[in-house]
Amino acid sequence: MISVPRFTHFLAVDWSGAKGARQKGIALALACIEGGPPALLSPPDPRGWARGEVLALLADLPGSTLVGLDLGIGLPFADAGAFFPGWDASPADARALWALIDRLCADDPNLEAGGFVTHPEASRYFRHGKGLEGDRFLLPGASTREGRFRRAEAAQRAQGVRPVSNFNLVGAAQVGKSSLTGMRMLHRLAGQVPVWPIDPLPAEGSVVTEIYTSVAARLGGVTGSATKLRSFAALNDALDLLGSPPVKGTGSIDDHSSDALLTAAWLRKVHGQRDLWHPPSLTPDIARTEGWTFGAF
């Protein structure tokens, strides 16, 4: 039986699927097991992080680092027995999905995913704009227009947050583009760092997993209808609930930075809770196809 409390560092990555070489929407924060406040990692360029720079960082992590990526590491599968029902190229598992996305996006720079969402077959499964849905965005007989969801997202909803379908590419809350660009990065990390639960939790070394910063905020004690923290005062109140010292600063803070800082402290606080590594709905088939969100239960 693996003893979980063994990580030395906790890295939270607030990701972005936007076009461009550098992203103001990417933020990285690191917390250490010894304590102290979480700290933002500065990008190599003041214009923001490049996705390739984050990939390089994840391939060379310090100590035993638990990495939380704020993106979906898989697409819905269990609801239809396939990622893309009706398409003969639909992959059998998450790693094959990542490989397909990366192959179809080979001409896209900056780990972007335009080649996938515009592919004649793949595009049929996504919502591309208001009233612009592929003919396979919804399953036959769907009871909602929201799109398809993974088992982990059903668990998130039971915790009081409202995830958006990874097949939705529209709106400020959408995570479809982030997830697809993130899957390209995960494909390129193959063999360098395991991705839980698609890979088993190893006895030692670093691990990458999926997070949802709203779940971290909820489980960290943030209440109310919103989970975004846009002031240092609100962030430090939440960090105090997690037993973390405050970060320095006053006034406003962008929510990408606050999401990353709070989630790094939350990962440090809760990583040793064995139940979070064994959610009841996480079966071997769900693990290899859809993956899971750490903290969803």
Residue 224 gets the label, from left (phi > 0), alpha (psi -120 to 50) or beta, of left
Dump pLDDT digits (tens) for 124-175.
999 999 889 999 999 999 999 999 999 999 999 999 899 999 999 998 889 9
| Domain assignment present for 66 | yes
For residues 240 and 169, state if they share a domain: no
| Domain assignment present for 197 | yes
For residues 48 and 111, state if they share a domain: no
In angstroms, rounded to a whole number, what is the distance separating the alpha carbons of residues 271 and 120? 42
Domain that holds residue 32: 9-73+190-277
For residues 33 and 177, state if they share a domain: no
- Put simply, whether the predicted model's pTM sits higher than 0.85 gets the answer yes
In angstroms, rounded to a whole number, what is the distance separating the alpha carbons of residues 103 and 112? 12
Which residues, at least 6 apart from 119, have a Cβ–Cβ distance to it below 8 Å?
A: 104
In terms of Cβ atoms closer than 10 Å to its own Cβ (0-12, 13-18, 19+), residue 77 is: buried
φ, ψ dihedrals at 216, nearest 5°: -60, -40
**Residue 66 vs residue 218, higher pLDDT:** 66
For residues 125 and 256, state if they share a domain: no
Whether residue 54 contacts residue 13, with contact meaning beta carbons closer than 8 Å, is answered with yes
**Residue 223 vs residue 218, higher pLDDT:** 218
In angstroms, rounded to a whole number, what is the distance separating the alpha carbons of residues 101 and 181? 9
Among 122, 153, 186, where does a domain finish? Answer: 186
For residues 194 and 273, state if they share a domain: yes
pLDDT mean over 13-17: 97
For residues 26 and 151, state if they share a domain: no
| Domain assignment present for 141 | yes
Tokens at 243, concatenated: 């037993």
Could you give the number of structural domains in the chain? Answer: 2
Q: What pLDDT, on a 0 to 100 scale, did the predictor assign at position 3? A: 56
Type of residue found at 215: V
For residues 47 and 128, state if they share a domain: no
For residues 52 and 195, state if they share a domain: yes
Dump pLDDT digits (tens) for 224-268.
666 789 999 999 999 999 999 999 999 999 999 999 999 999 999
**Residue 49 vs residue 225, higher pLDDT:** 49
The yes-or-no verdict on residue 4 having pLDDT over 70 is: no
| Domain assignment present for 286 | no
For residues 29 and 170, state if they share a domain: no
In terms of Cβ atoms closer than 10 Å to its own Cβ (0-12, 13-18, 19+), residue 58 is: buried
For residues 176 and 198, state if they share a domain: no
| Domain assignment present for 284 | no
The percentage of residues in the chain with a pLDDT greater than 90, rounded to a whole number, is 89
| Domain assignment present for 4 | no
Confidence of residue 1 (pLDDT cuts 50, 70, 90): very low
For residues 246 and 221, state if they share a domain: yes
For residues 205 and 64, state if they share a domain: yes
| Domain assignment present for 230 | yes
Confidence of residue 218 (pLDDT cuts 50, 70, 90): confident
pLDDT mean over 106-110: 98
Which residues, at least 6 apart from 192, have a Cβ–Cβ distance to it below 8 Å?
A: 58, 59
Mean pLDDT of the chain: 95
Whether residue 269 contacts residue 243, with contact meaning beta carbons closer than 8 Å, is answered with yes
Q: Minimal CA–CA distance to 180: which of 84, 67, 291, 73?
A: 73
Which residues, at least 6 apart from 20, have a Cβ–Cβ distance to it below 8 Å?
A: 110
